[in-house]
Structure 1
Amino acid sequence: MARRSAVALLHEPSREPSRDEAEIPSAALRLAEALLFGAPAPLSAAALAARLPPGSDVEALMAELARFYAPRGIGLVRVAGAYAFRTAPDLAPALRGEAPEPRKLSRAALETLAIVAYHQPVTRAEIEEIRGVSTSKGSLDLLLETGWVRLRGRRRTPGRPVTYGTTPAFLDHFGLDAVADLPGLDELKGLGLIEGRLPAGFRVPQPSDDPALRADEDPLPEADDAGPA
C-alpha cells in the first residue's frame, strides 16, 4: 500500500494502523503542529526539539508539515532561521483590512533600512556616506522603534561609533530566512527597483550577518543608553 501523508492520517477516524503506517511518528508530528500553531513567534529547530519526544527528526517533521499545508490557506515557512505558519501569499488580497495598516516609512527611512540591511554592521557616518546626505536622528529612531533595526555594538575605531544591523523581526516581516536571501542586483533589476544606466563599477553588496563580521566591534551592554551615534 502506498505510504500516505502522516498529517492526513491524523485527521482520519481511529483505526488499527498497518505495519507501514505504524512507522510514522504521528505523535511527534501532531505535537510539532500544535507547538507551531500556539507559538507567538517562529520556533527554531532547537526549540522544537526540546519539546518533542527524544529522537524526533525535526527537519523531517517540518518537511512533512510543509508538504501537507502547501496547497492550503496557510503554509509552513522558514523565517529568521525558525519555523512558523503564515497565510498563503495568494490570499493576501482577500485578507486586507483584517489587520491594522502598518506605519509607512519615509523615503529617507527606507533608504536607511536598505543600507543597514545590505551593509551591516554599519555606522551612522557610513550610512550618510552611502546616501550622500545627512541622516536624521528621526529615521534611525523610527527604524529602532519598528524593531527592524537594532544597535549591534561599538566599532573599535576612534570615537567608538555605534553600529547598526537588522533583527529577526525584519526577516520575519519580509519573509526571509536570512539576510543573505535579500535580492541581488539582477533580481532588483527584474523587480523594476533599479532602472536606467548604472555607474561603472556599481554593485549591490552581498548581505550577511556572519559572526565573523563582529570581529571589529564590541557588543553593547544590555543597559547601554548611548542611543544613535
Structure 2
Amino acid sequence: MTLDPLFTTRCIEALLFAAAEPLSVEDLAKRLPEGADVGAGLADLYARYAGRGIELVQVAGRWRFQTATDLAFLMTEEREEPRRLSKAAQETLAIIAYHQPVTRAEIEAVRGVQASRGTLDVLLELGLVKMRGRRRTPGRPVTFGTTDAFLEHYGLATLGDLPGIAEMRAAGLLALDLPPGFTVPDPMGLRTGEDEDPLEDGDEAPEFAQDFLGDAS
C-alpha cells in the first residue's frame, strides 16, 4: 500500500517540527505508517522550504528545521548579566562615596583591613569609581571618587542626596554603635578636592589600577 505523497510530506513535517533533536530517515520511518516514502517526502519538504525563513537541513545524517543562515543575525540577543558586588567592594564603594576624594590608604584605615588587589579594580571596571587626582602629600597617592554612573545606578541626583547617619539608623541599616574609626560624614560636607592635583597624561597610576585607568580626569 502506497500512502498519499502529500500526506507523507505533512507527517514528516509535523514530526520534524515537534522533535527536540534531528531525526534520521530510520527514525521517521518508524513513526510513519507502512508504505510511506520517507525519501520522497524529505525531498518534497526540502524543495518547499528552500529560500524561506525556515529551511530543512541535514546535520550528521539527520534532518531538522532551522533558521535560514542569512537570517541568523535576527536571532542574536545581547544580554548584560548583572554583576553583584562583594561585601568588600560594597564597603569600599560606600567609603569612597562618603569620604571622597580618598586614597587607598585612607580606605584601608576606615575599613580596618588591607584593600584587596581586585576590589578597586572591579569598581573602576564597572565605572562606579574613577581616579580623581594625586594628594599633595608625601608619595602623592592617587585619590578616588564616584562617577556619574554611580549616581545613575543608585538613583541619586547629587552626592548630597546620600543618606545621612540619622536616615541610615532609622532605616535599620546602621548599628547604634559604629565600629572604632568608622564614621558617616554629612554628604553635604564632602571635601572639595582642593588638596589634590589632577592626573596628567602619562601620569603613572597605581599598579593594581593601570588596566582600568580610562578617563581619570
The interval holding the TM-score normalised by the smaller chain is 0.5 to 0.7
Classify the secondary structure of the residue corresponding to 2:194.
helix
CA deviation map 1:18-45 (0-9, x unaligned): xxxxxxxxxxxxxxxxxxxxxxxxxxxx
Q: Which of 126, 132, 155 is 2:112 aligned to?
A: 132
Cross-structure match for 1:159: 139
Pair 105,201 (structure 1): closer, same or farther in 2 beyond 3 Å: closer
Classify the secondary structure of the residue corresponding to 2:151.
helix
Q: Which of 114, 137, 160 is 2:94 aligned to?
A: 114
> How much has 1:118 moved relative to structure 2?
0.1
Q: Which of 215, 222, 228 is 2:194 aligned to?
A: 215
4+ residue stretches of structure 1 with deviation over 6 A? 199-202
**Higher Rg:** 2
Segments of 5+ residues of structure 2 without an aligned counterpart are: 1-78, 210-217
> How much has 1:221 moved relative to structure 2?
1.6
Task: Name the CA distance, whole Å, in 1 between partners of 2:169 and 2:122.
Answer: 28
Cross-structure match for 1:13: none
Q: Do the aligned residues in 2 keep the contact of 1:128 with 1:134 (CA within 8 Å)?
A: yes
Pair 140,208 (structure 1): closer, same or farther in 2 beyond 3 Å: farther
Q: Do the aligned residues in 2 keep the contact of 1:150 with 1:167 (CA within 8 Å)?
A: yes
Pair 144,177 (structure 1): closer, same or farther in 2 beyond 3 Å: same
Task: Name the CA distance, whole Å, in 1 between partners of 2:127 and 2:202.
Answer: 17
State the one-letter code of the partner of 1:132.
G
User: Percent of counterpart pairs with the same letter?
Assistant: 61
- The CA RMSD over aligned residues, in Å, is 2.6
Task: Name the CA distance, whole Å, in 2 between partners of 1:167 and 1:148.
Answer: 6
- Structure 1 window deviating more from structure 2 (193-202 vs 161-170): it is 193-202
> How much has 1:146 moved relative to structure 2?
0.5
Pair 103,179 (structure 1): closer, same or farther in 2 beyond 3 Å: same
Q: Which of 147, 151, 173 is 2:153 aligned to?
A: 173
CA deviation map 1:163-199 (0-9, x unaligned): 0000000001101011111001111112221134446
Pair 197,214 (structure 1): closer, same or farther in 2 beyond 3 Å: closer
Q: Across the two proteins, how many residue pairs are aligned to each other?
A: 131
> How much has 1:205 moved relative to structure 2?
0.1
Matches within 5 A, 1:8-27: none
Classify the secondary structure of the residue corresponding to 2:192.
helix
Pair 209,173 (structure 1): closer, same or farther in 2 beyond 3 Å: farther
Task: Name the CA distance, whole Å, in 1 between partners of 2:181 and 2:112.
Answer: 17
Task: Name the CA distance, whole Å, in 2 between partners of 1:126 and 1:215.
Answer: 17
Cross-structure match for 2:49: none
Classify the secondary structure of the residue corresponding to 1:165.
strand
Q: Do the aligned residues in 2 keep the contact of 1:123 with 1:164 (CA within 8 Å)?
A: yes
State the one-letter code of the partner of 2:174.
I
CA deviation map 1:32-85 (0-9, x unaligned): xxxxxxxxxxxxxxxxxxxxxxxxxxxxxxxxxxxxxxxxxxxxxxxxxxxxxx
Q: Do the aligned residues in 2 keep the contact of 1:153 with 1:217 (CA within 8 Å)?
A: yes
CA deviation map 1:137-182 (0-9, x unaligned): 2000000001000000000000000000000000011010111110
Match status 1:182 vs 2:162? yes
Cross-structure match for 1:194: 174
Pair 147,199 (structure 1): closer, same or farther in 2 beyond 3 Å: closer
Segments of 5+ residues of structure 1 without an aligned counterpart are: 1-98
Q: Do the aligned residues in 2 keep the contact of 1:120 with 1:207 (CA within 8 Å)?
A: no
